[in-house]
Amino acid sequence: MRIATLLTLGVTLLGCRNSAAAPPNATFAPGTRTTKTPNVMAWIYSGDLQNGWQDHGWANRQPRKSGEPEKHLMSNYGGWILTRSGFTGTFGGLVFRIKGTPPVSDFLEVRVDSEQADVFPRVKVTPEHRTDFPDGWSEVYLPMTELNPMLRPFDHVVLRAYKPIAEPGLVEIDKVGLTPADAEQVRKAEAALNQPGLPAAFSVDCSAKGQEISPLIYGIALNARLDEKDTHQWKLNATSRRWGGNPMSRYNWELGNAWNTAADYYFRNVDYVGTPGYSWKSFLDLNRDRRVGSAITLPTIGWVAKDTRSSSFPKADYPAQEEFDPDGHNAGNGKGKDGKPIAPGNPSRTSIPAPPDFVARWVTAIRAHEAKRGKSVDVYFLDNEPALWNDTHRDVHPEPVGYEELLERTVNYGSAVRKVAPDAVIAGPAEWGWPGYFYSAIDAKAGFSLKPDRRKHDDVPLLDWWLARLAAHEKKTGTRVLDVLDLHYYPQARGLGVGTDGKTDAETSALRIRSTRGLWDPKYTDESWIKEPVRLIPRMRELVKENYPGLKLAIGEYNFGAERHLSGGLALAEALGRFGQEGLYAAWYWTYPPEASPAFWAFRAFRDYDGKGAHFEQLALPTTAPRDASIFAARSTDGKTMTLVALNFSPNDALEANVDLSGCAVAESQRVFTYTGDARGFVPREVPVGRPYRLPPYSINVIEMKLPGKK
């Protein structure tokens, strides 16, 4: 992603003066600020929006002409949000002018804010902030020592009424600007940043041999509806890209650029949106040119798109549908006006059969292409989330997948791949989540308490049964059709979201970070409807050991939501660290974080923290950390470098990290980098060797140590 040095601003004015009659108990305290109007170094609003600032307010307005103040109706908790992407700078305060009749001021609240962290005070305007003028206007000045005492990056300015005011609550606002910071303000902010944090004990076991970290854990995914022109993904320095997602279950490699959007988008056959002529060859070539590995999803559902224009529920044949594609293709969502699914027609309306031979010919074509350009594919997935086919692809596979069908498709398609590519790494079942680990889609449809399919198979959980049968197949035939157990992981707790979605209040943010424990911690009880320990990676390891020894482990999709918030970045950094520590073979994030977001910098903590290619090393070491923090350590194979990634999950408290490095060689030198939401990304810090490391609130910290090396 682009490493743009962006810093946006957000201010909330709560409760400006009311132009209507004041509430009966309202009183007006005259302003007592006597200081002169401060200089403005960056205007936000002066008659009109200035310097690229945008209006995201929610209060009703009265009409105004250009050059006039904004006129907000703030009686019902109204407010005004101003934002600007790409803004940078250090400021001394916020100034604005406000007018209302009568001049009530005890309902106005202001804050600067950030999309990335909720750590800014809400400041109620008092007479001490205000100078009143004879014409009815007042000028308010709020120093950053109140709004933003640590001079953190912020991207909103919010003005709102924090309590009701009388109708209609007309408030005029003008001359909104940011003032320069003086040396004393900067000194106080720096002093606050450098105050000792809470004592925190960490340790690294340097005596351990070290767990080799597979480079494939730093993978991302390509959604068929995303555009390859989204070039910031390359700045993540990911090691692999996965050709995956629901649409790839119906990808027709012979047509080069044809697939079906399935239930995600009106069951349409389309070409690659935004990149005409794009194909699997383009994907492999681009990855190889960027020195990125590839993971390919092979369709095993039995059908692929026959063209780039058909749809399964066209308006001409199904006129009474809940909704149609707004792009004007007359493709329906396959639901009636009552919201109930419409019975699908013949799959041939959109698709052609795709038996195992179809997939084998594609793998053969891939190998031929690689012979010319160089090897690119690391892993082949046997389709995507089969337990959901009767929903996502119900137009061609309306019946739920059961135990037998999953096994049959795995054996048939896996054998076809193995025949043409004996050394291929084959992964499956690429299942979506918790129920799919234990039950089939038949069980899900009938109800998990009934679980008819599982009962039919001696009440053995689905994955146990499936793996044992695949092991038996290899023993009987000598053909190994699976090399990697691959599952997907999406935390199910309410509000976490996926991608940029998800709540970012303090409670949900803390829950998001805790939810990562479901990947590895046997003592963590999942806080969603699951209500038991997930411990996904240890569980997968046990499944393999008990049913099919020798398989590798992969997480083909995962995401924690709130990518633009520090809680999302911290959750991702925690997951990446755990993947290495737990010896996972591969993982692919869904899909890739937005440019310069906290999730972007979480990737960079492990893949390029200095902007020059410096990365987390190859051998993971055991570590311990206090509550609300983590530390991950790795040393290079030559023993000359050790990297630490230390995470502080507290949004409020800094930590004074004392890292026990007993048994480690004394570092000859070190570099320290910290990310706290700063638009610059990781900021280098000077920390002498042997001194504690200060971990700011909500921060990702990287420590690179140069060691004497092996004697």
Residue 701 belongs to domain with CATH number: 2.60.40.1180
Contacts of 515 (CB under 8 A, 6+ apart): 491, 493, 496, 526, 527, 560, 571
| 533-538, Cβ contacts within 8 angstroms, sequence gap of 24 or more | 534/434, 536/487, 536/489, 537/578, 537/582, 537/584, 538/582
d(CA 45, CA 58): 17
Is 71 in the same domain as 203? no
Q: What pLDDT score does 26 carry?
A: 46
Put residue 477 in one of left, alpha, beta given phi > 0 → left and psi -120 to 50 → alpha: alpha
User: For the CA atoms of 117, 228, 430, 549, what is the dihedral angle to 10 degrees?
Assistant: -100
Is 25 in the same domain as 53? yes
Is 530 in the same domain as 587? yes
d(CA 347, CA 391): 14
Tell me which amino acid residue 453 is. Answer: D
Is 18 in the same domain as 90? yes
Is 539 in the same domain as 636? no
1 part of a folded domain:
no
Q: From the CA atom positions of the chain, what is the Rg in Å?
A: 29
Chain segment 652-711, per-residue pLDDT in tens: 899 999 999 988 889 999 999 999 987 789 999 999 999 999 999 999 999 999 998 654
Residue 634 is encoded by which pair of tokens?
């790795």
d(CA 669, CA 595): 32
Q: List the one residue out of 687, 628, 681 whose CA is nearest residue 653.
A: 628
Q: What pLDDT score does 224 carry?
A: 57
d(CA 218, CA 295): 12
- Assess contact for 38 and 179: CB atoms under 8 A: yes
Residue 250 is encoded by which pair of tokens?
């119906």
Is 220 in the same domain as 205? no
Q: What pLDDT score does 223 carry?
A: 66
Domain boundary among the residues 130, 162, 193 is at 193
Contacts of 11 (CB under 8 A, 6+ apart): 44, 81, 82, 94, 110, 111, 112, 113, 156, 157, 158, 159, 176
For 312, list phi and psi in degrees, rounded to 5.
-80, -25
Is 144 in the same domain as 156? yes
d(CA 240, CA 579): 15
Q: What is the CATH number of the domain that holds 45?
A: 2.60.120.430
316 part of a folded domain:
no
3-state helix, strand, coil in the chain (%, to 5): 25, 25, 50
Q: What is the CATH number of the domain that holds 394?
A: 3.20.20.80
600 part of a folded domain:
yes
Alpha carbon of residue 8 to chain centroid: 20
Is 405 in the same domain as 527? yes
339 part of a folded domain:
no
- Neighbouring C-beta atoms of residue 56, cutoff 10 Å: 13
* Residue linked to tokens 């039950």: 439
Which ranges of the chain have pLDDT less than 50?
A: 1-26, 102, 711
Is 588 in the same domain as 620? no
d(CA 236, CA 234): 5
Alpha carbon of residue 659 to chain centroid: 29
Is 223 in the same domain as 88? no
701 part of a folded domain:
yes
Number of domains in the chain: 3
405 part of a folded domain:
yes
Q: Is 77 exposed, middle or buried (0-12, 13-18, 19+ CB in 10 A)?
A: middle
Domain boundary among the residues 607, 627, 659 is at 607
Is 583 in the same domain as 700? no
Tell me which amino acid residue 276 is. Answer: P
DSSP 278: -
Q: What is the DSSP string of 578-592?
A: HHHHTT-SEEEESS-
Is 158 in the same domain as 221? no
698 part of a folded domain:
yes
DSSP 595: T
Which helix (H) or strand (E) segment is 160 a member of?
strand 156-161
**How many helices (DSSP H) and strands (DSSP E) are in the chain?**
14, 36
| 194-198, Cβ contacts within 8 angstroms, sequence gap of 24 or more | 194/694, 195/654, 196/654, 196/656, 196/694, 197/653, 197/654, 197/655, 197/656, 197/657, 197/694, 197/695, 197/696, 198/653, 198/654, 198/655, 198/656
Helices (H), 49-159: 144-147
103 part of a folded domain:
yes
**What distances in angstroms separate CA 154 from CA 102, 216, 567, 669, one per listed residue?**
33, 35, 16, 34
Q: What pLDDT score does 679 carry?
A: 74
Domain boundary among the residues 567, 589, 607 is at 607
d(CA 590, CA 627): 28
Q: What pLDDT score does 666 carry?
A: 92
Domain span holding position 167: 11-193
Which helix (H) or strand (E) segment is 572 a member of?
helix 566-581
Q: List the one residue out of 338, 340, 341, 349 whose CA is nearest residue 316.
A: 349
Which helix (H) or strand (E) segment is 631 a member of?
strand 629-635
